[in-house]
Amino acid sequence: EPEVTQTPSHQVTQMGQEVILRCVPISNHLYFYWYRQILGQKVEFLVSFYNNEISEKSEIFDDQFSVERPDGSNFTLKIRSTKLEDSAMYFCASRRETGKNEQFFGPGTRLTVL
C-alpha cells in the first residue's frame, strides 16, 4: 500500500543553522501539507501546497520557513535559521482529491535544536 515517507527520522542541529526536512508524498496525490507537534501539545498546521504554490499557511509559518516541490516526487520544508522552539515532530501529509479531505501522514521527522 502506498505511503508517505519522510527523511531523516531524526535531525539534530545547532540553533541558527538551516535544516531541510524531506518528504515523498503518495504518488497520485495532489495536495501536500506540513504539520508539527511540539512535545505535549496538539498537532498543528503549518502550510498547505497545491499546484506548485502555497495555498494556505499558519501564523507559525513565518519568513524562516519555506516549502518546495523540486521535482515530481519530493516535497521539502526548509527552516532557514532554527530556534530552540522549532524543536518538534514534523509531519508531512498528502491527499488525492477534492471533496474527501482524508490526509495521509508520514512517520515524521524529530527535529532537535540545541
Partner 1 sequence: DQQVKQNSPSLSVQEGRISILNCDYTNSMFDYFLWYKKYPAEGPTFLISISSIKDKNEDGRFTVFLNKSAKHLSLHIVPSQPGDSAVYFCAASEYGNKLVFGAGTILRVKS
Q: Which residues contribute to the site for partner 1 (CB under 8 A)?
A: 4, 6, 31, 33, 35, 42-45, 48, 55-56, 58, 91, 93, 98-108, 110
CB 10 → partner 1: shortest distance, Å?
A: 10
* CA–CA separation, 2 and 43 (whole Å): 23
CB 83 → partner 1: shortest distance, Å?
A: 21
CB 8 → partner 1: shortest distance, Å?
A: 13
Handedness of CA 81, 108, 42, 28 (dihedral sign): positive
* CA–CA separation, 37 and 34 (whole Å): 10
